[in-house]
Amino acid sequence: MARLVRAIHVLDDKHMKGGWVYIMTNRPDGTLYVGVTSDIARRAWEHRESVIDGFTKRYGLKRLVYMERHDDIERAIQRESRLKKWPRAWKVRLIHATNPNWDDLYATLQG
């Protein structure tokens, strides 16, 4: 029964929390990774510290170059899915529009 209660609680949190769509890279004009999370500071830290095995760890993608906030996690997930299908040039333009120097935005998360 505890698992059922926990699962319902997680579903409620999922619909109540907002989310972030973000892009990580290894260098300006480098390899790109599009992701989604409910906790951008934690997730960016995980990428920077290579805590989780996968694409970003394999390619050394530690630089947070783009992020956008959504009030609803479901909308963030939908946006992430659309961005992943975009051609690379569109993603690069998106980054350039808000972060033309490809600065690491992680420092802006440190309150």
- pLDDT on residue 110: 73
Q: Is residue 55 part of a domain?
A: yes
List, edge to edge, every strand of the sheet that includes 19-25: 32-37, 19-25, 63-70
- pLDDT on residue 9: 42
Q: Is residue 11 part of a domain?
A: no
Per-residue pLDDT of 20-34, as tens digits, reads 999 999 999 999 999
Q: Is residue 27 part of a domain?
A: yes
Q: By the 8 A CB rule, do 55 and 47 touch? A: no
- pLDDT on residue 34: 98
- pLDDT on residue 12: 47
The amino acid sitting at 68 is: E
SS percent in the chain: helix, strand, coil, step 5: 50, 20, 30
Q: Is residue 12 part of a domain?
A: no
The total number of structural domains in the chain stands at 1
Spans in the chain with pLDDT lower than 50: 1-15
- pLDDT on residue 111: 57
Residue 42: domain span: 18-109
- pLDDT on residue 46: 96
CATH number (domain holding residue 24): 3.40.1440.10
Q: Is residue 4 part of a domain?
A: no
